[in-house]
Amino acid sequence: MTTLSFEFFPTKTDEGTEKLLKVRDELAEFNPEFFSVTYGAGGSTRDRTYAIVKSLQERGIAAAPHLSCVGDSTADLRDLLNEYKELGIKRIVALRGDLPSGSGLAGSELRYANELVEFIRKETGDHFTLEVAAYPEMHPQATNFERDLQNFANKVKAGADSAITQYFFNADSYFHFVERTQAMGIDIPIIPGIMPITNYSKLARFSDSCGAEIPRWIRKQLEAYGDNSDSIVKFGEEVITDMCRRLLDGGAPGLHFYTLNQSQSSLAVWKNLV
Protein backbone atom coordinates (compact mmCIF):
# COMPACT_ATOMS: atom_id res chain seq x y z
CA MET A 1 0.00 0.00 0.00
CA THR A 2 1.39 3.39 -1.03
CA THR A 3 1.40 5.91 1.82
CA LEU A 4 0.86 9.64 1.42
CA SER A 5 1.88 12.37 3.84
CA PHE A 6 2.41 16.13 3.80
CA GLU A 7 4.59 18.64 5.65
CA PHE A 8 3.64 22.09 6.98
CA PHE A 9 5.72 24.78 8.62
CA PRO A 10 4.44 27.09 11.39
CA THR A 11 3.05 30.41 10.20
CA LYS A 12 3.97 33.75 11.76
CA THR A 13 0.72 35.68 11.25
CA ASP A 14 -3.01 35.18 11.78
CA GLU A 15 -3.50 35.59 8.03
CA GLY A 16 -0.98 32.84 7.38
CA THR A 17 -2.71 30.58 9.86
CA GLU A 18 -6.10 31.09 8.17
CA LYS A 19 -4.55 30.20 4.81
CA LEU A 20 -2.90 27.14 6.29
CA LEU A 21 -6.20 25.90 7.71
CA LYS A 22 -7.68 26.05 4.21
CA VAL A 23 -4.71 24.17 2.75
CA ARG A 24 -5.01 21.62 5.55
CA ASP A 25 -8.63 20.90 4.64
CA GLU A 26 -7.84 20.61 0.92
CA LEU A 27 -5.06 18.11 1.55
CA ALA A 28 -6.99 16.17 4.19
CA GLU A 29 -9.53 15.13 1.56
CA PHE A 30 -6.89 12.78 0.16
CA ASN A 31 -6.64 10.85 3.45
CA PRO A 32 -2.91 11.21 4.09
CA GLU A 33 -1.39 8.98 6.73
CA PHE A 34 -0.21 12.06 8.62
CA PHE A 35 0.77 15.72 8.44
CA SER A 36 4.21 16.58 9.78
CA VAL A 37 4.84 20.02 11.27
CA THR A 38 8.33 21.51 11.32
CA TYR A 39 10.19 22.88 14.32
CA GLY A 40 12.43 25.95 13.96
CA ALA A 41 16.15 26.15 14.74
CA GLY A 42 16.73 25.70 18.45
CA GLY A 43 13.01 25.17 19.05
CA SER A 44 12.27 28.74 17.91
CA THR A 45 8.78 27.83 16.66
CA ARG A 46 7.85 25.52 19.53
CA ASP A 47 4.58 27.24 20.49
CA ARG A 48 3.42 27.68 16.89
CA THR A 49 4.32 24.09 16.04
CA TYR A 50 2.30 22.91 19.03
CA ALA A 51 -0.70 25.06 18.01
CA ILE A 52 -0.80 23.60 14.49
CA VAL A 53 -0.40 20.06 15.79
CA LYS A 54 -3.25 20.65 18.24
CA SER A 55 -5.52 21.99 15.48
CA LEU A 56 -4.84 18.93 13.34
CA GLN A 57 -5.54 16.51 16.16
CA GLU A 58 -8.77 18.31 17.06
CA ARG A 59 -9.96 17.82 13.48
CA GLY A 60 -9.20 14.11 13.67
CA ILE A 61 -6.18 14.45 11.37
CA ALA A 62 -3.05 12.56 12.43
CA ALA A 63 -0.21 14.97 13.17
CA ALA A 64 3.50 14.20 13.42
CA PRO A 65 5.37 17.09 15.03
CA HIS A 66 9.04 17.55 14.33
CA LEU A 67 11.13 17.41 17.47
CA SER A 68 14.75 18.54 17.47
CA CYS A 69 17.26 18.26 20.28
CA VAL A 70 19.65 21.13 19.57
CA GLY A 71 18.91 24.06 21.87
CA ASP A 72 16.42 22.23 24.09
CA SER A 73 17.18 20.66 27.47
CA THR A 74 16.12 17.10 28.18
CA ALA A 75 13.68 18.51 30.75
CA ASP A 76 12.03 20.65 28.05
CA LEU A 77 11.92 17.69 25.66
CA ARG A 78 10.39 15.50 28.35
CA ASP A 79 7.67 18.07 29.01
CA LEU A 80 6.91 18.38 25.32
CA LEU A 81 6.73 14.61 24.87
CA ASN A 82 4.22 14.44 27.72
CA GLU A 83 2.16 17.24 26.16
CA TYR A 84 2.09 15.40 22.85
CA LYS A 85 1.05 12.17 24.56
CA GLU A 86 -1.83 14.03 26.21
CA LEU A 87 -2.89 15.35 22.79
CA GLY A 88 -3.02 11.82 21.43
CA ILE A 89 0.00 12.19 19.17
CA LYS A 90 1.31 8.82 17.99
CA ARG A 91 4.10 9.83 15.61
CA ILE A 92 7.14 12.12 15.90
CA VAL A 93 9.76 13.18 13.38
CA ALA A 94 12.98 13.09 15.43
CA LEU A 95 15.79 15.33 14.15
CA ARG A 96 19.00 16.89 15.34
CA GLY A 97 17.62 20.18 14.06
CA ASP A 98 19.18 23.21 12.43
CA LEU A 99 21.74 25.02 14.51
CA PRO A 100 20.58 28.48 15.62
CA SER A 101 22.54 31.24 13.90
CA GLY A 102 25.94 31.79 15.50
CA SER A 103 25.82 28.71 17.72
CA GLY A 104 27.09 25.19 17.55
CA LEU A 105 26.39 21.96 19.38
CA ALA A 106 28.15 23.11 22.53
CA GLY A 107 25.80 23.22 25.49
CA SER A 108 23.22 20.84 24.03
CA GLU A 109 22.52 17.85 26.26
CA LEU A 110 21.60 15.80 23.21
CA ARG A 111 23.74 16.59 20.19
CA TYR A 112 22.64 14.17 17.47
CA ALA A 113 19.42 12.65 16.20
CA ASN A 114 20.31 9.13 17.31
CA GLU A 115 20.66 10.45 20.87
CA LEU A 116 17.22 12.05 20.60
CA VAL A 117 15.69 8.80 19.31
CA GLU A 118 17.29 6.90 22.18
CA PHE A 119 16.00 9.48 24.67
CA ILE A 120 12.42 9.30 23.34
CA ARG A 121 12.47 5.52 23.51
CA LYS A 122 13.77 5.62 27.08
CA GLU A 123 11.11 8.13 28.13
CA THR A 124 8.08 6.83 26.25
CA GLY A 125 8.82 3.25 25.16
CA ASP A 126 6.94 2.33 22.00
CA HIS A 127 4.23 4.97 22.37
CA PHE A 128 5.47 6.94 19.36
CA THR A 129 6.24 5.85 15.82
CA LEU A 130 9.56 7.58 15.22
CA GLU A 131 10.49 9.00 11.83
CA VAL A 132 14.06 10.11 11.16
CA ALA A 133 15.72 11.92 8.27
CA ALA A 134 17.65 10.27 5.45
CA TYR A 135 19.92 11.96 2.92
CA PRO A 136 20.22 10.18 -0.44
CA GLU A 137 22.69 12.82 -1.64
CA MET A 138 24.49 13.03 1.74
CA HIS A 139 23.88 15.46 4.56
CA PRO A 140 25.55 18.78 3.67
CA GLN A 141 27.59 18.70 6.88
CA ALA A 142 28.69 15.06 6.62
CA THR A 143 32.38 14.41 6.02
CA ASN A 144 31.68 11.68 3.45
CA PHE A 145 28.95 9.36 2.23
CA GLU A 146 30.15 6.34 4.23
CA ARG A 147 30.06 8.33 7.46
CA ASP A 148 26.59 9.61 6.60
CA LEU A 149 25.34 6.07 6.05
CA GLN A 150 26.71 5.10 9.46
CA ASN A 151 24.95 8.08 11.06
CA PHE A 152 21.70 6.86 9.52
CA ALA A 153 22.35 3.34 10.79
CA ASN A 154 22.90 4.76 14.29
CA LYS A 155 19.44 6.35 14.22
CA VAL A 156 17.86 3.08 13.15
CA LYS A 157 19.71 1.16 15.85
CA ALA A 158 18.53 3.69 18.44
CA GLY A 159 14.91 2.85 17.64
CA ALA A 160 13.70 4.63 14.49
CA ASP A 161 10.68 3.01 12.83
CA SER A 162 10.92 4.64 9.41
CA ALA A 163 12.63 7.49 7.57
CA ILE A 164 11.75 10.42 5.34
CA THR A 165 14.38 11.62 2.90
CA GLN A 166 15.63 15.06 2.07
CA TYR A 167 14.11 16.03 -1.27
CA PHE A 168 15.98 15.20 -4.46
CA PHE A 169 15.40 15.35 -8.21
CA ASN A 170 17.32 12.24 -9.23
CA ALA A 171 15.53 8.98 -8.50
CA ASP A 172 18.79 7.03 -8.85
CA SER A 173 20.15 8.73 -5.72
CA TYR A 174 17.21 7.35 -3.75
CA PHE A 175 17.57 3.83 -5.12
CA HIS A 176 21.32 3.85 -4.46
CA PHE A 177 20.76 4.97 -0.87
CA VAL A 178 18.16 2.28 -0.24
CA GLU A 179 20.41 -0.40 -1.72
CA ARG A 180 23.31 0.68 0.47
CA THR A 181 21.17 0.68 3.63
CA GLN A 182 19.71 -2.73 2.81
CA ALA A 183 23.25 -4.07 2.38
CA MET A 184 23.89 -2.87 5.95
CA GLY A 185 20.91 -4.90 7.19
CA ILE A 186 18.57 -1.90 7.52
CA ASP A 187 15.01 -2.75 6.56
CA ILE A 188 12.86 0.14 7.82
CA PRO A 189 10.67 1.95 5.25
CA ILE A 190 12.45 4.90 3.63
CA ILE A 191 9.91 7.37 2.23
CA PRO A 192 11.05 9.75 -0.53
CA GLY A 193 10.62 13.41 0.35
CA ILE A 194 9.14 15.29 -2.61
CA MET A 195 9.56 19.01 -3.30
CA PRO A 196 7.20 20.46 -5.93
CA ILE A 197 8.80 22.95 -8.32
CA THR A 198 6.96 26.27 -8.29
CA ASN A 199 9.61 29.00 -8.00
CA TYR A 200 13.06 28.49 -9.48
CA SER A 201 15.03 31.20 -7.69
CA LYS A 202 13.80 30.15 -4.24
CA LEU A 203 14.30 26.48 -5.03
CA ALA A 204 17.86 27.09 -6.25
CA ARG A 205 18.83 28.99 -3.11
CA PHE A 206 17.33 26.43 -0.78
CA SER A 207 18.78 23.49 -2.70
CA ASP A 208 22.27 24.96 -2.62
CA SER A 209 22.06 25.38 1.16
CA CYS A 210 20.70 21.92 1.96
CA GLY A 211 22.74 19.93 -0.53
CA ALA A 212 19.92 18.85 -2.85
CA GLU A 213 21.22 18.75 -6.41
CA ILE A 214 19.08 20.18 -9.20
CA PRO A 215 20.19 18.37 -12.38
CA ARG A 216 21.65 20.65 -15.02
CA TRP A 217 18.92 19.93 -17.57
CA ILE A 218 16.24 20.95 -15.06
CA ARG A 219 18.12 24.11 -14.06
CA LYS A 220 18.60 25.16 -17.67
CA GLN A 221 14.96 24.63 -18.56
CA LEU A 222 13.77 26.55 -15.51
CA GLU A 223 16.20 29.38 -16.30
CA ALA A 224 14.82 29.52 -19.84
CA TYR A 225 11.32 30.16 -18.51
CA GLY A 226 12.50 33.31 -16.70
CA ASP A 227 9.55 34.90 -14.89
CA ASN A 228 6.92 32.78 -16.65
CA SER A 229 5.53 31.18 -13.49
CA ASP A 230 2.83 29.20 -15.31
CA SER A 231 5.45 27.46 -17.46
CA ILE A 232 7.62 26.77 -14.42
CA VAL A 233 4.72 25.20 -12.54
CA LYS A 234 3.62 23.11 -15.54
CA PHE A 235 7.15 21.89 -16.23
CA GLY A 236 7.71 21.19 -12.54
CA GLU A 237 4.54 19.14 -12.31
CA GLU A 238 5.64 16.99 -15.26
CA VAL A 239 9.17 16.46 -13.90
CA ILE A 240 8.03 15.61 -10.37
CA THR A 241 5.21 13.35 -11.57
CA ASP A 242 7.62 11.36 -13.77
CA MET A 243 10.10 11.01 -10.91
CA CYS A 244 7.41 9.95 -8.42
CA ARG A 245 6.06 7.37 -10.83
CA ARG A 246 9.53 5.91 -11.24
CA LEU A 247 10.05 5.89 -7.47
CA LEU A 248 6.80 4.05 -6.82
CA ASP A 249 7.36 1.62 -9.68
CA GLY A 250 10.81 0.95 -8.22
CA GLY A 251 9.42 -0.01 -4.82
CA ALA A 252 9.28 3.23 -2.81
CA PRO A 253 6.72 2.65 -0.02
CA GLY A 254 5.09 6.08 -0.30
CA LEU A 255 5.60 9.79 -0.86
CA HIS A 256 6.02 12.67 1.58
CA PHE A 257 5.34 16.09 0.07
CA TYR A 258 7.08 19.23 1.31
CA THR A 259 4.09 21.45 0.60
CA LEU A 260 5.54 24.84 1.63
CA ASN A 261 2.02 25.39 3.01
CA GLN A 262 0.53 25.20 -0.49
CA SER A 263 -1.78 22.52 -1.82
CA GLN A 264 -2.03 22.96 -5.60
CA SER A 265 1.28 21.50 -6.84
CA SER A 266 1.42 18.57 -4.42
CA LEU A 267 -2.15 17.59 -5.23
CA ALA A 268 -1.58 17.97 -8.97
CA VAL A 269 1.28 15.46 -8.80
CA TRP A 270 -0.65 13.04 -6.59
CA LYS A 271 -3.70 13.17 -8.87
CA ASN A 272 -1.46 12.31 -11.82
CA LEU A 273 -0.31 9.20 -10.00
CA VAL A 274 -3.59 7.76 -8.76
Which residues does the annotation mark as catalytic? 7
**What residues form DSSP beta bridges with 240?**
none
Phi first, then psi: what are they for 91, rounded to 5°?
A: -140, 140
DSSP symbol at 95: E
Per DSSP, what are the bridge partners of residue 191?
164
Q: How many CB atoms lie within 10 A of CB 267?
A: 19
Angle between helices 171-183 and 229-249 (to 10 degrees): 30
What is the C-alpha to C-alpha distance for residues 45 and 11, in angstroms, rounded to an integer? 9
Count of C-beta atoms within a 10 Å radius of residue 136: 25
DSSP state of 71: T
The Cα angle at residue 110 between residues 207 and 10, in degrees rounded to 5: 45
